[in-house]
Amino acid sequence: MLYRLVRQILAYPITQKYNTMNNQIKFILSILTLFILFISCEKDEVQPQGKTNAIFNESLTYGTVIDIDGNVYRTIEIGNQVWMAENLRVTHFNNGELISRGLIKMHGYPSTAGNEPEYGSYNETNDKDSIATFGLLYNWASVSDSRGIAPKGWHIPSKEEWELLISTLGGGTEAELKLREVGKTHWYYLNLGDNTSGFTALPSGQYNTGNFYGIGDWTAWWTSTGMDDLSAFAKQSSTLYPGEIRSTPLHMGLSIRCVKD
Quickly state the pLDDT bin for 209 (edges 50, 70, 90).
Answer: confident
Contact 98, 90 (CB under 8 A): no
Averaged pLDDT of the chain: 83
Largest CA distance in the chain: 81
Ranges 110-114, 128-132, 238-242, most confident: 128-132
Contact 135, 204 (CB under 8 A): yes
CA-nearest of 201, 193, 50 to 121 is 50
Strands 100-101 and 118-120: parallel
Average pLDDT over residues 235-240: 82
Comparing 123 with 89, which gets the higher pLDDT? 89
Q: Of 21-25, 55-59, 188-192, 249-253, where does mean pLDDT reach its minimum?
A: 21-25
Contact 118, 106 (CB under 8 A): yes
3 pLDDT more than 60 = no
87 pLDDT more than 50 = yes
Distance of alpha carbon 79 from alpha carbon 197, whole angstroms: 9
158 pLDDT more than 50 = yes
CA-nearest of 159, 189, 192, 86 to 129 is 86
Average pLDDT over residues 74-90: 98
Where do the structural domains in the chain lie, given as residue ranges? Answer: 2-44, 63-260
Average pLDDT over residues 206-220: 90
Please give the full DSSP string across 43-69, using - where no structure is assigned.
HHSPPPP--------TTSPPEEEE-TT
Kindly report, residue by residue over 32-52, the tens digit of the pLDDT: 555 544 444 433 444 457 899
Contact 166, 230 (CB under 8 A): no
Q: Provide the terminal-to-terminal Cα distance of the chain, rounded to the nearest Å.
A: 33
pTM to 2 decimal places: 0.79
Average pLDDT over residues 182-194: 89
260 pLDDT more than 80 = yes
